[in-house]
Structure 1
Amino acid sequence: MTSAVLEHALTDHTELPLRPLPEDAAEVLRALDAPPRLAAHLRAVHDVACQLVDWLKTTFDTVQFDADSVLYGAATHDIGKVLHPAELSGPGSAHEADGYQLLLDRGVQESKARFARTHAAWTESDIEIEDLLVSLADKIWKAKRVPELEQLIVQRLAAISRQEPWQVFMTLDEELDRIAADADQRLAFQAAYPIAT
C-alpha cells in the first residue's frame, strides 16, 4: 500500500508544475514504498530531463538519442536510495550499484536500469549521450554546474552537429542558465517531503 505522502510527492501539481514520472517508474516507487523525499527528487530531476530533451530535439535535431531512456533514467537514477536512505540526506555511492541491481531484479531492461549506476560515472568509456543527459539533469536541477560534464556534452554535440564547440557551449550555457533559474523552487519542493515513509 502506497503511503499518502508518497502518492502526494508523485502527483502534486499545486506547488510546482512538475511533469509526472513515466508510469512504469512511478509504479516501481510505489511497489517499493519509496521515501517521499526520493520521489520528490526524482520528479524534479525528471522534469529537468524533460526540458533538456525538448531543448535537444529542437536545437540539435540531427542528434539521435533515446529520449524515453533518458526520461526513465532520470526518473529512477537514485532508486538505490530506497536501500540506502542515509544517502538521501548525506553523501554516498552505495545506491548506484544497488539501484542498478534492484531495477534488474524487478525486470527492468539493462538499457534503462543502467542509469542508476552511470549517473555519477560520466567519465567512463562506455558512457552514451543518454547517460550524460541524465547526469546533467541530476546536477542542473539544483543549479550545480559541472564544467567537466558540460564539456563532454559540448564535445559530443559539436561532433554530431558539426558546429564549433564554442557555439555549442554558448547554446548549452544559455539553456542551463534558464533551467537553473528555477532551482530554488525545485529544492523547496523536494525539501517539503520527509525522508522516512
Structure 2
Amino acid sequence: MSPVPTPAALLSALHDPGEPPLRPLPPGVPELLLELPASPRLAAHLRLVHDVAATLTDWLAREYPALDVDREAVLFGAATHDIGKALHPAELSGPGSAHEEAGRELLLARGVEARLARYAGTHASWTASGTTTEDLLVSLADKIWKNRRVPELEDLVVHRLAAARGREAWAEFLALDDALTGIAADADARLAFQAAYPVTA
C-alpha cells in the first residue's frame, strides 16, 4: 500500500522561509504535523507563534538573566499549543475550546512528556492555579503575534519580571511594553503569512 501524498500546501506552510525568515520548529513537531495531517493554516499559525515565543525568550535571556525560564518548554509549547485543532478543525476559523484538552491528550498519546504536552491545554487559561512563567509566555506569544494586547495577561508577566529583577512593577511594565510593541510591528506580515494558507488541506 503506497503512502498518501502530503498536500503541497502543508509542506509549504512548514517550509516556506517567510519574510522576515521564521525559525524552524522544534525537532519532531513538523513530522507530527505531517503525520496528523494538520491543516496548512494550523501549521503556519504554529510556526508564527513559535517564532514570536523565540523572540520573547531571547529578549528575556538578555534582559532578565535571573528569571528561571525553561526555554525549550516555551518553544515546544508555542509550536504545539493549538495542535488539538487538527482534531477540531472548526476551531481554526471559529471559537471553541475543545482543542485544548484534545491537544494535550494527542501529544501524550504520541509519547510527548507531560511537562511539554501541558501547553496545549493551558495556553488559554493563564489565571488558573499553578500557572507557570512558561505558561504565561506561551499565552503571551499566542496573543502578541497578531498584536492582540491582553492587559490581565501582561500584568501577570510583569509581576514575574519585577520579582526576578527586584524593580518596581511600573518599570517592568514599560520594558515589556517596549518589547511587545516591537514584536507587534510585524503583525500584519504574520497575519498575511497565515492567511495565505488554507484552513483545509
TM range (shorter): over 0.9
Please say if 1:9 is aligned against 2:13: yes
1:2, CA displacement in angstroms? 2.8
Counterpart-to-counterpart distance in 1, 2:23 and 2:66: 26
Counterpart-to-counterpart distance in 1, 2:57 and 2:138: 10
Counterpart-to-counterpart distance in 1, 2:6 and 2:156: 39
2:44: which partner in 1? 40
Which shows bigger deviation, 27-36 or 75-84? 27-36
Unaligned stretches of 5+ residues in structure 1: none
Please say if 1:192 is aligned against 2:196: yes
Partner SS for 1:91: coil
Q: How do residues 61-100 of structure 1 correspond to structure 2 at under 5 angstroms?
A: 61-100=65-104
Kept in 2, the 8 Å contact 1:122–1:135? The answer is yes
2:166: which partner in 1? 162
Counterpart-to-counterpart distance in 1, 2:15 and 2:133: 29
| Aligned mate of 1:109, from 108, 113, 119 | 113
Counterpart-to-counterpart distance in 2, 1:191 and 1:112: 28
Partner SS for 2:128: coil
Matched length: 197
TM-score, length-normalised on structure 1? 0.98
Please say if 1:176 is aligned against 2:180: yes
Kept in 2, the 8 Å contact 1:16–1:189? The answer is no
Which shows bigger deviation, 175-184 or 15-24? 15-24
Which shows bigger deviation, 93-102 or 6-15? 6-15
Tell me the alpha carbon deviations over residues 31-69 of structure 1, each in whole angstroms, 9 at most, x when there is no partner. 111000000000110010000000000011111110000
| Aligned mate of 1:152, from 151, 156, 161 | 156
Counterpart-to-counterpart distance in 2, 1:57 and 1:2: 38
Kept in 2, the 8 Å contact 1:16–1:186? The answer is no
1:26, CA displacement in angstroms? 1.3
TM-score, length-normalised on structure 2? 0.96
- Structure 1 pair 166–38 and aligned structure 2 pair: CA distance change class (3 A): same
Please say if 1:21 is aligned against 2:25: yes
Unaligned stretches of 5+ residues in structure 2: none
Q: Which ranges of 4 or more aligned residues in structure 1 deviate by more than 4 Å?
A: none
Counterpart residue identity of residue 168, structure 1:
E
1:153, CA displacement in angstroms? 0.4
